[in-house]
Amino acid sequence: MTSDIDKNTGRFIIEIHYNPAGKTRVIKTLSISLLMTVALAGCTNVNYPTDQHSKLEAAEKAKKCQQLRREIDELKGKPARRGAHMEYYEDLCLNSMID
């Protein structure tokens, strides 16, 4: 968007330039952010089992899920590696919570 004053009429002019690539980038970023928020919310609401051994395993798993989330965030711009990490994260952290 640019603005200027027309020298002939003295009116203020605003030019708006449509950039479809920018819109796509915003939608993609918002979609990924929403997915990450849902995924993190799912990991933080894990109901831990009652026995001590299972509690320890669940804590280690939660820690691993958090580490995977950080790695996924760091892999922005590397779609192949990020996709592989996301698949592993979904299998380990999201799908196992459903079982």
- Tens digits of per-residue pLDDT, 10-21? 776 666 656 666
Q: Name the nearest CA neighbour of 41 among 67, 65, 72, 61.
A: 65
The token duo for 74 is 């760091």
Segment 19-30 shows an average pLDDT of 68
pLDDT at 99: 47
pTM of the model: 0.44
What would the pLDDT profile of 40-82 be if each residue is shown by its tens digit?
A: 766 655 555 556 667 778 888 889 999 988 998 888 888 888 8
Alpha helices in the chain (DSSP H): 20-44, 52-74, 79-89, 96-98
pLDDT at 57: 82
Segment 24-42 shows an average pLDDT of 74
Report the alpha-carbon distance of residue 68 to residue 50 in Å, rounded. Answer: 25
Give the SS3 label for residue 47.
coil
